[in-house]
Structures are given as structure tokens and as C-alpha cells.
């Protein structure tokens, strides 16, 4: 019985919606027949945005203004009406009187629909209730909306629909628009910070013969003109390091990379990565750089280096903790990995703590698995985890004092990896052996392992100076500074399964 009632209600809603859509088409036809086709309008002179009028009212009071945006509400009251227009910076009320805009224009105004894009010219004033508004002198329809905004019937609360129709999400949810405005500001401030440090922004290929520089499965495609299979890049590393070889001492790139992996709250198959490389420094220099970068960007965008994420205060103003992976395991789980000397002992330790591993895994892999299982959940405040095992760091310089470990760090904040950095491996003979070990893993079924990159090895043969490098996940950084739970909330168009599948 209840199901039948729901079906009847849905049918009524659908019929009402179809009627409203039909009415909008009829209004458009009427406008076109009378020579007032809004789709023939090519421009409108906008002099100010809504928030500028509100925030600087003393400057604009009594002066003529011209705004344009989407009609979000309308209250018709005989000879005078109120409407609300939303533009990029916010929204503002407008008082529309028949005597001010003319009888014919007022009739046309009353036929406007919510969602229409209009231009309003008038003077700034405050109403009796104290609301900053525009006293309209003219209202012009710039674009006719032929669709109903979603809150008219059911609200835009379905997250899948929000991601699929981001354009509607941006209209209906101001906080979503604010997130993406902040994203743009964050990337701008990253560039400003690096440019001021003498870094040069460059661009490297997205279609590559050999997708290296990270442990990830690439997307495969085919280059018809060359009749060659190629891959979408999984990192920016190997080409940027070629530029260091070429003498460009400080380079960076902010760009999309592609990894054929699962989708969850922290992962999207295509995401934005920033990688930079600086000659004549090491991973300690990279720690200083990234700590200053995170702090300064937060200050520039948010006005504070103390941010709130998921109800927890994250302090970027204090020095970030620096602790080795081995010491972190001791600190948070009281496991002394320095007592482990062989692969067999490491696997026995994993068995003891019920941590799953694969037959191919070695001692360093087991350390990484134990770290992921027992340590990551504690890394809420900014923490550099340093000195990773060589098995999981194929492009990193070994620690001279302990060659089982590398000069590498990962920055963790809110339990998430935010950055990954190395003292870069510049010994070509060592690099060849690392690539061979990776190819053995690839042959054994590890589809995330790297393969030999002959040209990159040749570049190292030419000679790369001591270099520090770092990769920062831009999307996760934006999540932190905008208090966004999922990566989809900071990607304008996240990857989704096709509708209906």
C-alpha cells in the first residue's frame, strides 16, 4: 500500500515537473516570436559583484551599479517586487518597481523563472530592514533557464548527483563554490611561494613509453600515428630529473597524473600532483621546504596556520615532528624492528601480529606493512616519517650510515600521506640494479613495479648533481585546508561510473 502511494506521489511530481518545463519552453517561444530571444544576447556590462557592494556599501551607496547573475528567488507584490540574484561572489537583493523600470519591462520581469540569468542596473540602497539592495532601473533577461533547479522538488542532497552535475552543485551550495575558489587560491599561492624561491615551472609529457617514478598500475593506450602502445604517466619524476641533469637547478610541475587503481575517499584515478626537484640539497632541505610551504600557503589562503579538520585542530605553525619509520613503530606499537635481521624473521613478526603479506615480500616490505597497520592511524599532527627501507624506495639514495634504509620521508597529517620526498638516487649503476629488482617483481606479478628506463639511466650516466625531490598531493592538501572529507569534494569532476551502469 505504501509503495503504491509513493509511486502515485512520484507520478504527480513528474507530471508537475513536465508541466513546468513545458511552460518554460512556451515562455521562450513567446520571447523569440516578439523579437526578444535571450539567446541572441552576446554581452552585458557588469561593473561590480554582489559582495563588493555589501562589503563596501559606503562607497557604493546611491551610485549606479550593474550586476549579472542567476535569479534565485522572486517575490511579486503588485506594483513592486523583490528578487535575489547570485553571482560569483555571493548574492544580493534587488527591489524592482513598475514605476522605475516601466510597465512593459515589469510584465516581462514577472514572467521570469528561478534559474534565469539576468542583468540588473540600478542604484545601491538599504531597505527599511537594513538590507543592502539594488533599486532596479532596468532588468534584462540574458539567458533563459529551461530546466528546474533541483531544490524545487527534492533538494540537491544526493552526493552522486552532486558529483555528476557539479554545475548544479555550484549553483545550489555556496560552500561548494567556496571550496573550489579556495582550491584555485591554494594552487596560486603554491606557485607564488616556489617562484619566490627561484623555482621554474615546466611541463613534461603525459603520454609516455615507460610509466615510472611511483608504485602504481598505469593506464594503457595506443598512439595511432606512431603505431605504438603508450601509457598515461603515473608521476612527474623521471622527466623532471632529466631537467636537473640538463642544468635547470630548481624545477617543478603541477599537473594531472593517472593511476589505474581503486576509488575511495582518498583516491581518484586521475589526480593533481606537484613535484619539484632542487639540485645541491637533500631530504632535510626538502623537509624544510615543504614545512614552510604548507605553513605559508595556509596563512595566505586562510589567514591562519592553525586549521580545523574533521573537528580536530591541526597546527601547521609549530615545527613538524621528524621520526624514522623504525622509531615510529617502536613508539606506537612497541615493536623493536632493529632486532629483525632477515626476511624470515620479518615474516615471522608479521605472522605474530596477524599482518598479511605476500611471498615475494622482503624485510623492508614487512616494515612498511607493519607501519601502515599500526602507526598511520596515530599521525594526526604534521609528522615527517623518515628513513624508509630500500625495498620500497627504488629511486632513493641509500643512507651512507645504513644502506638498508634510504634518505626518504613521507609527510603525514590527519592520518594521510601528504608528501613524499627523497635525497634522489644519482648513481646510475645503483639505479640499474634497482630497476632490475623492480623488473623481477614485475615478472613475478607485481603490476605496480617499475621497468627499466634506458634513457633515464643514460641521463644519470651523463651526471645528475646531488638533488632533493618531493611530490605533494595537491588534492589532499586542498582537503586539509577546506575541511573536506573526501577527495571527490575537492575535484570539480571526479571519476564516476557511467550513469546507469
Binding residue per annotation — 410? yes
Split at pLDDT 50, 70, 90, the class of 5 is low
CB neighbours (10 Å) of residue 97? 13
Query: How far apart, in whole angstroms, are the C-alpha atoms of residue 36 and residue 108?
Result: 11
Split at pLDDT 50, 70, 90, the class of 8 is low
According to the model, what pLDDT value does residue 443 have? 86
According to the model, what pLDDT value does residue 114 have? 96
Q: Mean pLDDT, to the nearest integer, of 78-92?
A: 96
What are the DSSP E strand ranges found in 164-226? 200-201, 207-208, 220-223
Query: How far apart, in whole angstroms, are the C-alpha atoms of residue 233 and residue 204?
Result: 10
Q: Mean pLDDT, to the nearest integer, of 436-448?
A: 84
Is the pLDDT at 154 greater than 50? The verdict is: no
According to the model, what pLDDT value does residue 265 have? 85
Q: What percentage of the chain reaches a pLDDT higher than 90?
A: 83
Query: How far apart, in whole angstroms, are the C-alpha atoms of residue 46 and residue 134?
Result: 14
Q: What are the tens digits of pLDDT across the range 302-359?
A: 999 999 999 999 999 999 999 999 999 999 999 999 999 999 999 999 999 999 999 9
Is the pLDDT at 12 greater than 70? The verdict is: no
Is the pLDDT at 152 greater than 60? The verdict is: no
Is the pLDDT at 485 greater than 80? The verdict is: yes
According to the model, what pLDDT value does residue 499 have? 77
According to the model, what pLDDT value does residue 398 have? 92
CB neighbours (10 Å) of residue 330? 16
Is the pLDDT at 11 greater than 70? The verdict is: no
Binding residue per annotation — 249? no
According to the model, what pLDDT value does residue 10 have? 59
Nearest-10 Cα torsion for 247, 248, 252, 255: -80
According to the model, what pLDDT value does residue 153 have? 39
Query: How far apart, in whole angstroms, are the C-alpha atoms of residue 269 and residue 409?
Result: 24
Q: Mean pLDDT, to the nearest integer, of 221-244?
A: 96
Query: In 3D, which of 483, 472, 374, 471 has the Cα closest to residue 424?
Result: 471
Query: In 3D, which of 312, 320, 305, 333 has the Cα closest to residue 421?
Result: 320
Mean pLDDT of the chain: 93
Q: What are the tens digits of pLDDT across the range 107-143?
A: 999 999 999 999 999 999 999 999 999 999 999 999 9
The helix-helix angle for 474-482 and 283-302 (nearest 10°) equals 40
- Say which residue the cell 561593473 belongs to: 47
Amino acid at each position: 500500500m505504501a509503495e503504491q502511494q509513493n509511486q502515485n506521489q512520484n507520478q504527480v511530481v513528474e507530471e508537475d515537473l513536465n508541466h513546468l518545463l513545458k511552460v518554460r519552453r512556451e515562455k521562450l517561444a513567446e520571447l523569440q516570436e516578439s523579437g526578444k530571444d535571450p539567446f541572441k544576447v552576446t554581452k552585458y556590462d557588469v561593473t561590480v559583484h554582489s559582495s563588493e557592494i555589501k562589503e563596501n556599501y559606503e562607497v557604493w551607496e546611491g551610485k549606479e551599479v550593474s550586476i549579472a547573475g542567476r535569479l534565485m528567488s522572486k517575490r511579486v507584490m503588485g506594483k513592486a517586487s523583490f528578487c535575489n540574484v547570485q553571482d560569483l561572489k555571493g548574492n544580493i537583493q534587488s527591489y524592482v518597481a513598475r514605476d522605475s523600470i516601466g510597465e512593459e519591462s515589469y510584465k516581462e520581469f514577472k514572467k521570469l523563472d528561478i534559474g534565469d540569468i539576468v542583468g540588473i542596473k540600478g542604484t545601491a540602497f538599504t531597505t527599511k530592514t537594513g538590507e543592502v539592495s539594488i533599486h532596479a532601473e532596468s532588468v534584462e533577461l540574458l539567458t533563459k533557464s529551461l530546466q528546474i533547479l533541483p531544490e524545487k522538488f527534492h533538494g540537491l542532497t544526493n552526493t552522486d548527483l552532486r558529483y555528476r552535475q557539479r554545475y548544479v552543485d555550484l549553483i545550489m551550495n555556496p560552500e561548494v563554490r567556496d571550496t573550489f575558489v579556495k582550491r584555485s587560491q591554494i594552487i596560486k599561492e603554491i606557485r607564488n611561494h616556489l617562484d619566490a624561491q627561484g623555482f621554474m615551472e615546466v611541463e613534461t609529457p603525459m603520454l609516455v613509453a615507460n610509466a615510472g617514478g611511483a608504485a602504481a598500475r598505469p593506464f594503457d593506450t595506443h598512439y595511432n600515428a606512431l603505431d605504438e602502445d603508450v601509457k598515461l604517466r603515473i608521476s612527474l619524476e623521471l622527466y623532471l630529473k632529466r631537467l636537473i641533469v640538463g642544468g635547470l637547478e630548481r624545477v617543478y610541475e603541477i599537473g594531472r597524473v593517472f593511476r589505474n587503481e581503486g576509488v575511495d575517499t582518498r583516491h581518484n584515478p586521475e589526480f593533481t600532483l606537484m613535484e619539484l626537484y632542487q639540485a645541491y640539497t637533500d631530504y632535510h632541505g626538502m623537509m624544510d621546504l615543504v614545512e614552510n610551504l604548507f605553513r605559508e600557503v595556509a596563512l595566505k589562503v586562510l589567514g591562519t596556520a592553525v586549521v580545523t579538520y574533521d573537528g580536530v585542530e591541526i597546527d601547521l605553525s609549530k615545527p613538524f615532528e621528524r621520526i624514522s619509520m623504525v622509531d615510529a613503530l617502536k613508539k606506537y606499537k612497541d615493536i623493536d624492528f632493529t632486532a629483525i635481521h632477515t626476511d624470515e624473521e620479518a615474516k615471522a613478526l608479521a605472522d605474530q601480529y596477524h599482518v598479511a603479506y605476500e611471498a615475494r615480500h622482503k624485510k623492508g616490505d614487512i616494515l612498511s606493512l607493519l607501519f601502515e597497520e599500526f602507526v598511520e592511524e596515530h599521525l594526526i599532527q604534521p609528522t615527517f616519517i623518515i628513513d624508509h627501507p630500500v625495498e620500497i624506495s627504488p629511486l632513493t639514495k641509500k643512507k651512507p650510515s645504513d644502506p638498508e634504509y634510504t634518505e626518504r620521508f613521507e609527510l603525514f597529517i590527519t592520518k594521510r600521506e601528504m608528501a613524499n620526498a627523497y635525497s634522489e638516487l644519482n648513481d646510475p649503476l645503483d639505479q640499474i640494479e634497482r630497476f632490475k629488482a623492480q623488473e623481477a617483481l614485475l615478472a613475478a606479478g607485481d603490476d605496480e613495479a617499475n621497468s627499466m628506463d634506458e634513457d633515464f639511466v643514460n641521463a644519470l650516466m651523463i651526471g645528475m648533481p646531488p638533488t632533493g625531490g618531493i611530490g605533494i598531493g595537491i588534492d589532499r592538501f586542498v582537503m586539509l585546508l577546506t575541511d573536506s572529507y573526501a577527495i571527490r569534494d575537492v575535484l570539480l569532476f571526479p571519476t564516476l561510473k557511467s550513469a546507469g551502469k
